[in-house]
Structure 1
Amino acid sequence: MLSCWAAIFWKEPIWLITPFAIILAKPLAQWITRNTEQLYWLYLIALPLSTEFNFTPGLGLDLPGEPILIGLTLLILASMIYQPNQYRSLLNSAIGKWIALYAAWMLISLCYADNTWLATKFMLAKIWYILPLVFLTAWIHTQKPNFKKLSILLCIPMLLVVMQALIRHGMYGFEFVAIKKAMAPFFRNHVNYSAMLVCLLPAGWLLYYFSENPNRKRGIKAALLIGLTGLFFAYSRGAWLALFVGLIAYLGIRKNRIGILILTGMLTACIGLTLLIHNNRFLAFAPEHDETIFHENFSAHLSATVGLKDISNAERFHRWVAGFRMISEKPITGFGANSFYPAYQPYTIAPFKTWVSNNPEHSTIHNYYLLLAVEQGIPALIIFGGFLIYLILQAQKMYHRFQQNYYRMIALGTGIILCMIASLNVSSDLIETDKIGGLFWLCTGVILALQQLLKREATTIAL
């Protein structure tokens, strides 16, 4: 009766499940405790299928993914307390130290945050992503490597999402404006959808590479073609660019040149940024307010992009300018995690204002590297950037050092995905989403597992 009253009062039907949740709580807790690994595999299935749900205006979770992660985090913390030896080598690894540094600076930034509650929620979310997706992933695959199963459990649900999206999008004639309707409720927008899709293509390619059964190989090839078709009709320029970056990363890792490519990219970005800032040259790129509109036709959308009249990129410039001005005010500690939206409007400038500058979606800066510097200071950007480069270089190193081809190819595929994620976050802030954020920390866990397996292989060869 109470649950029915709550559902009516708050107009939320989810309250109706309360009695069943209470009844099932104890047996479910017992099952979870005995089946931590199975719960981990369940999360992988849920990752492409999770949907955002707001319990209150200030509290939202991605269901069912985040509740599973919270449960796994509690189990890992208990395991670390009662059986610390299981995780000691992982926590003492270079990746463990990078994450400790990342968390330490996050805590320092929290102390100086404009809104401590928002920053605290951010840090809690980081904990329940990092602990299970990095350390549990590494522990599971160090004990009993099963990277094929990991790829399968991610790719099959994503394939189902792509197939239903293509069918529903086809009913609208594959119109550019209809793509958002086709992917609901699994993805918020076409950017998140296309980003997840393009990042899972290397996992699908590895499944094809390792498959020896001709029929299975044909099935995987058909699935990859469906994925590429879905990527095309997602109409996301960032994801198309990420696919190109993935191909460059494939060649760079195989030729042992990924470090040179990263350095070239960073130098190019620094030179371009310096030229834009010098004598306020960036003001020359201010859009014409009345000409910068949303285009319902994708060809017109691309033409507007080339002519710098596309509203999405124009609004990005609007927020990036605000972001640089915010960084100049608080370069060390930043404004605090989750604080960009409440704080950025006074730092915008009129020449870059667009029709959507009132930001009804409460979205952020659309560049993860800038977002880190704005919210947690330049040290956070340096720490995360260094960590990301370290992971990519480790993937290359292990590709060339492993004797077993299976592990070499896993390192190659993981390095490609990390390079794609790095590319996508230049024009988006996807590390803070459950899909790409989950995939990033999962790749980190895979790199950590591969490091442990490489040590084991080297010891075996030495013996």
Structure 2
Amino acid sequence: MPSIIHSKWFNWFAISSFFLCGLWSLLTQEPYWLAVPFILVLAFPLFQFVVTKTEQLYWLLLIVLPLSTEYNFSSTLGLDLPDEPLLIILSVAVLASILYQPTSYRFIFDSPIFRWIIAYLIWMFISLCYAPNQWLAIKFLLAKTWYILPLVLLTALIHQRSGNFKKTALYLCIPMLLVVIQTLTRHAFYGFDFVAIKKTMGPFFRNHVNYSAMLVCLIPIGFLIHHFTQDHRKKKFIKAGIAIALIGLFFAYSRGAWLALIVGVAGYWLIKKNMLGKAILVGLITMIISIVALINNNRFMQFAPEHDQTIFHENFSEHLNATIGLKDISNAERIHRWVAGVRMVAEKPWTGFGANSFYNNYQPYTAAPFKTWVSNNPEHSTVHNYFLLIALEQGIPALLLFAGLLIYLILQSQQLYHQFQNNYYRAIALVLGIILLMITSLNFTSDLIETDKIGGLFWLAAGLLIGLKYHLKIEKETIAI
């Protein structure tokens, strides 16, 4: 990271702030303005530390990403600690760096990925103007910004050095492995009971869905580390770590994560065969036809569950059988909210109901035959489909922009895999494609992009792909010479 602090700058800053604040204090007859220069001058060394130690703080962010916990300061203010404060601090450092040395970021600004993101943010700002609760929408936009600045821009900048890809893999996987070990250990005292999994992953994860989602997305990185490790003794430790991760995934009892693992395996084959584009096209056509068929003549009403039979099953085998028979309460409640979500999109298709607005607005749009025992929604959770959530809160244009960005990222990973001559970068592109496919799968039944764990991985993957594109350009120039 370039340094933006010089003693000459500091002197001019101190003199200017003392002069301006003193003048303003005289004009307004408010003496407290005299304290402002002292506060700014005292804060300056802290700012200097952040800017000069930006990369170290970035690595700390990756380490604590699997270890962070949610903390609510009040009913309206909650943060993920310590990673979200780190994201905010790093965002300030990135903005300062851009102002001081914008040419360092030129390859990022020229990237189609960055342009997709900017287009998505612009529409987010437009939908904010129409949001009934603009304060919630502003908080949402700010949070999105402080995720994107460090995890996309700073990631791309830092990964201009090829060795940093390895550090990223280790700094994510080792803390997560420690979480898995402690979860399995605590779970063992409950006999690996299905219901008890909720008691074993705190304080790091809110529930088994978030836990299993991050775990399944990091497993491909574990295989990547194993592939590029030459030392046989280290390989044995890595194999043991992968085995522990797979055991942890099994005992997480998360059907969505198991499905994501299958999607990842299929994605591995499709990327290698260069068939991902065709598979996505077929999937989109199938999905559109299915949605139209369900909406036509209200055919979706045929899937309404029997209210008294839709219960929570404490036995996992019964839970799976209920899932197959469409009598599982979690999936039945998902359908209940999806029906409401689709109706909300039809009500406000262009700008949506505003960010963080689903819970306060969805009940009038629900269909009574789909109600379950938990439809009062005591957790204030959302629609459990991220793509539907974007459409109902920010409008269909936001959905199209985000879906376009996601598909572009996935296809970019396949393209990079086949364009690179260097096997190191090829493998990284392959794994990023698999992770993005897993994240896509997970978000059809959840809204995990809005969490720090999966949301962090998603934006990190976008930054890494920009970094890979930079290395591809270098490789092509080297070959041309």
- Tell me the TM-score normalized by structure 1: 0.94
* Residue 26 of structure 1, CA deviation: 7.2
1:18-33 aligned within 5 A: 29-33=47-51
State the SS of the aligned residue for 2:308. Answer: coil
Q: Give the equivalent residue in structure 2 for 1:191.
A: 209
SS in structure 1 opposite 2:307?
Answer: coil
Question: Over residues 389-424 of structure 1, what are the superposed CA-to-partner deviations in whole Å (9 max), with x where a residue is unaligned?
Answer: 100111000101111100000000000000000000
Determine if the alignment matches structure 1 residue 264 to structure 2 residue 282.
yes
User: Which of residues 238, 252, 260 is equivalent to 2:270?
Assistant: 252
Give CA deviations for 1:111-132 in whole Å, capped at 9, x if unaligned.
0112111111100000000010
Q: 1:310-325, aligned counterparts within 5 Å? A: 310-325=328-343
1:80 and 2:98 aligned = yes
1:352-383 deviations in Å (ceiling 9; x for gaps): 01110110101000000000100011111111
Match of 1:375, as an amino acid? E
> In the alignment, which of 323, 332, 351 is matched to residue 350 of structure 2?
332
Report whether the alignment pairs 1:354 with 2:372: yes
**1:4 aligned partner:** none
Moved over 6 A (4+): 24-27
Change (3 A) 1:270 1:185: same
> After the TM superposition, which residues 175-214 of structure 1 pair with which residues of structure 2 at under 5 Å, given as runs?
175-214=193-232
* Cα distance change, pair 104–26 in 1 and its aligned pair in 2 (3 A): closer
Name which of 164, 185, 198 aligns with 1:146: 164
Q: 2:234 aligns with which of 207, 212, 216?
A: 216
Work out the CA distance in 1 between the residues paired with 2:330 and 2:44.
49
Which deviations, in whole Å up to 9, do the C-alpha atoms of 1:255-283 show, x marking residues without a partner?
10011111111111112112211111100
**Secondary structure of the equivalent of 2:160?**
helix
1:115 to 133, 150, 154: 133
1:234 aligned partner, one-letter code: A
1:37 pairs with one of 43, 46, 55: 55
Opposite residue 273 of structure 2, the aligned amino acid is: K
Match of 1:401 in 2: 419
Structure 2 matches for 1:1-16, cutoff 5 A?
none
Partner of 2:381: 363
* Letter aligned with residue 195 of structure 2: V
Q: Note the alpha carbon deviations across 1:228-268, whole angstroms, 9 max, x for none.
A: 00000000000000000000000000010011111111111
SS at match of 1:287: coil
Between the aligned partners of 1:209 and 1:28, the Cα distance in structure 2 is 41
**Over the residues paired in the alignment, what is the CA RMSD in angstroms?**
1.1
Q: How far apart, CA to CA, are the structure 2 residues paired with 1:114 and 1:142?
A: 43
Find out whether 1:97 has 2:97 as its counterpart. Answer: no
Measured against aligned partners, the alpha-carbon deviations of 1:280-325 in whole angstroms (never above 9, x if no partner) come to 1100100111111111111111011011110000000000000010
1:87-139 alpha-carbon deviations (Å, 9 max, x no partner): 12211211111111000000000001121111111000000000100010000
| 1:320-342 alpha-carbon deviations (Å, 9 max, x no partner) | 00001000010011011111111
1:434 match:
452
- Secondary structure of 2:446's partner? coil
1:27, CA displacement in angstroms?
6.3
Q: Secondary structure at the match of 2:220?
A: helix
Q: Distance in 2 between matches of 1:57 and 1:145?
A: 43
1:444 paired with 2:462, answer yes
How many Å separate the matches in 1 of 2:458 and 2:273? 24
2: distance between equivalents of 1:209 and 1:60? 40
Which shows bigger deviation, 79-88 or 238-247? Answer: 79-88
- The alignment status of 1:297 with 2:315, answered yes or no, reads yes
- Deviations, residues 57-109 of structure 1 (Å, cap 9, x unaligned): 10000000000000000000011111111112211211111111000000000
Structure 2 unpaired stretches of 5+: 1-41
- Secondary structure at the counterpart of residue 311 of structure 2: coil
Q: Paired residue for 1:46, among 64, 67, 92?
A: 64
Counterpart AA for 1:60 = G
Q: Does 1:131 align with 2:149?
A: yes
- The residue correspondences of 1:58-73 to structure 2 (distance < 5 A) are 58-73=76-91
Write the distance in 2 (CA, Å) between the matches of 1:143 and 1:185.
34
Partners of 2:345 and 2:206 in 1: CA distance:
29
Query: How many residue pairs are counted as aligned between the two chains?
Result: 440
Give the distance between the partners of 1:121 and 1:404, measured in 2 at CA: 42
Partner of 2:39: none
Summarize the alignment of residues 233-248 of structure 1 with structure 2, pairs less than 5 Å apart. Answer: 233-248=251-266
